[in-house]
Amino acid sequence: MQPLTKITDVLWELPLTYKAGMRVCGRVYASEAMLRHIVGDNCLEQVANVACLPGIQQYSLAMPDIHWGYGFPIGGVAATAPDEGGVISPGGVGYDINCGVRLMRTQLSREDVAPKIHDLVSQLFRDIPCGLGEKSDLRLARDDERQVLVQGARWAVKRGFGKADDLEFIEEGGCMAEAESSNITERALERGAGQVGSLGSGNHFLEVQVVDEIFDDTAAQTMGLFLGGVTVMIHCGSRGFGYQVCDDYLRVLGRAPEKYGFRLPDRQLASAPIQSPEGQEYLAAMRCAANYAFANRQVLAAKAERSFLHALGISPNALGMELVYDVPHNIAKFEEHMINGRPRRVCVHRKGATRSFPPNHPSVPARYRAVGQPVLVPGDMGRYSFVLAGQPQAMAQTFGTVCHGAGRVMSRSQAKRELNFDQLRRDMEQRGVVMMARGRGTAVEEASAAYKDVAEVVNVVDAAGLAKKVCRMRPIGVVKG
């Protein structure tokens, strides 16, 4: 596996000599079996490119679900220091800003839901707009939309979507500060006006799941998860609004390297110094998109709860739906981390990567502080997803970061060439999963065969001490765009 050097069974290093211009080494978390695909996908080239960013600290990091992306690899992590000329790069956040995962628990068991699972999935499919370009039933005036961009999930709670207690269990409290809506283009506002409360397409989904294995009883109990319990997982982000923000600022930041006198090995890594006007403007706009996504998931969760009540004919108390946690995995944030023995304020880019803060960290909600932050890692729609808990090694090694999902092994075009919808539906039925999808092509792109086994991915971060496994959930119902 040249040119990688083995550090442990699940950690490999890419040396500074791999590519001219690297300021730090690359580090890849993966089992030896995973490396063949990682090397074959040419991801190491992107890990090396990220290592060339001005102000980057310690390592250019890659999680075990790494695959080729725009600028950064998906599964890429980098921290840059503002006081060393560190840059902010939209490619290190992604087009779907604050794409993330939300998990809700219920008091129901599989036996309560299985007899009505077809009715439930049908109700969810009717109530939750999904699919490419699909609009929400919420059409926002400009003033309302600008409030979303500044208030995030708080905006949704004020309008009756969920409750104020939810905000404690959303990263950043569901709202990133210092969002500035005056930086947003009219085109982005136009695209975002009709999409709050919609799922979108691609790999976005809503799943009804059942907890089928528990690895850590104490952590599971603390999170309110029990064997056989029904959960709901939502994966989506900032929709067309976030895409447009990214597109707008790639053009702005594309001119910044020449202006500020640094070179990059890939134009897709367009960057500006964090403390420059361009860098500050992008950060303010990115926070708007992040807040849009927080509001979107908050509205979707409330819609899902209403669908459960209607389809199952039960009371809110009998359902007992509560938010476990909501984590972004396409975001850049300022955090304090120990670097070379002293605390430093750095900008952590997480592109297809999830925060994993350990027990007793002040940013972890009080309820979870004894066990660590819940880490939500969805798998493909035919197998299973995992809940983990953050561990101290993540702070020491990865700026408090782990994987975000299974990671693709087939491109979308390859999946559509080699797989077909009818076979996918039969496979899902054999697995006991009821699936409803708006688009046959997009559903095929998300078939199990297109993804790594997420169990192998979470086993790597567990073995590395970055997060520990808490429980596994299997899907019984899936809504896709």
Amino acid at site 425:
R
Amino acid at site 252:
V
* CB contact at 8 A, 398 and 77: yes
CA atoms of 206 and 434, how far apart (whole Å): 12
361 catalytic residue (yes or no) = no
Task: State the pLDDT at residue 467.
Answer: 98
Coil vs helix vs strand at 174: helix
Question: Rounded to a whole number, what is the distance in angstroms from the first to the last CA of the chain?
Answer: 38
Which structure tokens are listed for 191?
């695209």
Tell me the pTM: 0.97
Q: What is the DSSP string of 118-151?
A: HHHHHHHHHHS--STTPPPS----HHHHHHHHHH
CA atoms of 30 and 274, how far apart (whole Å): 31
Tens of pLDDT, residue by residue, the chain (481 residues): 679 999 999 999 999 999 999 999 999 999 999 998 888 888 999 999 999 999 999 999 999 999 999 999 999 999 999 999 999 999 999 999 999 999 999 999 999 999 999 999 999 999 999 988 778 888 899 999 999 999 999 999 999 999 999 999 999 999 999 999 998 999 999 999 999 999 998 889 999 999 999 999 999 999 999 999 999 999 999 999 999 999 999 999 999 999 999 999 999 999 999 999 999 999 999 999 999 999 999 999 999 999 999 999 999 999 999 999 999 999 999 999 999 999 999 999 999 999 999 999 999 999 999 999 999 999 999 999 999 999 999 999 999 999 999 988 888 899 999 988 888 988 999 999 999 998 888 889 999 999 999 999 999 999 999 999 999 999 999 999 7
CB-based burial label for 66 (10 Å; 0-12, 13-18, 19+) = buried
CB proximity list for 7: less than 8 A, separation 6 or greater: 13, 27
Which uninterrupted H or E stretch holds 475? strand 467-480
Core vs surface per residue 417-440: b (16+ CB within 10 A) or e: eebebeebbebbeeeebbbbbbbe
Coil vs helix vs strand at 478: strand
* CB contact at 8 A, 102 and 234: yes
CB proximity list for 131: less than 8 A, separation 6 or greater: 199, 200, 201, 438, 439, 442, 481
Coil vs helix vs strand at 224: coil
Task: State the pLDDT at residue 1.
Answer: 62
Which structure tokens are listed for 303?
């819609």
CB proximity list for 393: less than 8 A, separation 6 or greater: 464, 465, 466
Q: Which of 204, 349, 361, 404 is catalytic?
A: 404
CA atoms of 480 and 202, how far apart (whole Å): 8
* CB contact at 8 A, 445 and 415: yes
Domains, the chain: 5-480 (3.90.1860.10)
Q: What is the DSSP string of 67-102?
A: E--SSSPEEEEEEE-GGGT-EE-GGGT-SSTT-EEE
Pairing of strands 25-29, 11-14: antiparallel
CB proximity list for 156: less than 8 A, separation 6 or greater: 162, 196, 295, 298, 299, 302
CA atoms of 87 and 55, how far apart (whole Å): 7
Which structure tokens are listed for 128?
């939750």
Task: State the pLDDT at residue 431.
Answer: 93
231: closest CA among 168, 323, 164?
323
Phi, then psi, of 205 in degrees rounded to 5: -160, 165
Q: Give the dihedral sign, CA 138/141/147/148.
A: positive
Task: State the pLDDT at residue 289.
Answer: 98
CA atoms of 328 and 98, how far apart (whole Å): 5
Query: Which residues, in sequence order, are bridge partners of residue 322?
Result: 105
Q: Which residue has the tokens 């299985």?
A: 114
